[in-house]
Amino acid sequence: MIRVKLSAWTASFRFPTFQSGYQPTLPVPPPSTIQGLLSAVKGEPVYLTELPYLGYVFKSSGKGIDLEKIYALGKIETDIMRREFLYNTELYLYLPDEWKEHFRKPKYQLLLGRSSDLATVEEIKRVELEEREAPIGGTVVPVSLGVPGMVHALVVEHDYSVIPRRPKLVKPFIVLPYPRTDGERKRQRANALYDSDLNIGVYLHRWG
């Protein structure tokens, strides 16, 4: 498999239970963000259920709050909304080898959230991962894995054959921030594939 490293100054991932007012960000991208990213790379809709496997690890240096000017629909009124964002971000994607050529020449701009969260490809590397118990994080995992964490119902993929797009597959996930402390690395452990370069476990999703 290959590992693709992307970096971006900022990233933000919509918190599914907040529709208006203060907008927090999830600590890691949901699967639907990865679907959008892969679709931009390939230049056509990509469905994660059609991939043989997919893994990802996301980390950032911290979180900030941005102030956005918003306009009420059909009115002249404006307001200020606070929106969280993550900064100095890195996303590692684990994909089948055929994605190497797509990431060398992406069709469209790559985003980690909103249109201002531009990402660049820093490295494409072939990796061999060892199966063992390891700390995992910076990703989402199935509830059945039994790792403690926040549980959210997240969209796996959208149906792009209709306008506007509609959620095609929604599943419950444990959202695991990247483990930074010894306690988090001990608590967030599971049988996974171990990436010795990053010293982190990688959970491979297989939705097909």
Domains of the chain: 2-205 (3.30.70)
Enumerate residue ranges in the chain where pLDDT < 50: none
**Each residue of 14-27: b (16+ CB within 10 Å) or e?**
bbeeeeeeebbbbb
pLDDT in tens, 16-75: 776 667 889 999 999 999 999 999 999 999 999 999 999 999 999 999 999 988 887 777
At residue 207, the 3 state secondary structure works out as coil
pLDDT of the residue at 15: 85
pTM to 2 decimals?
0.93
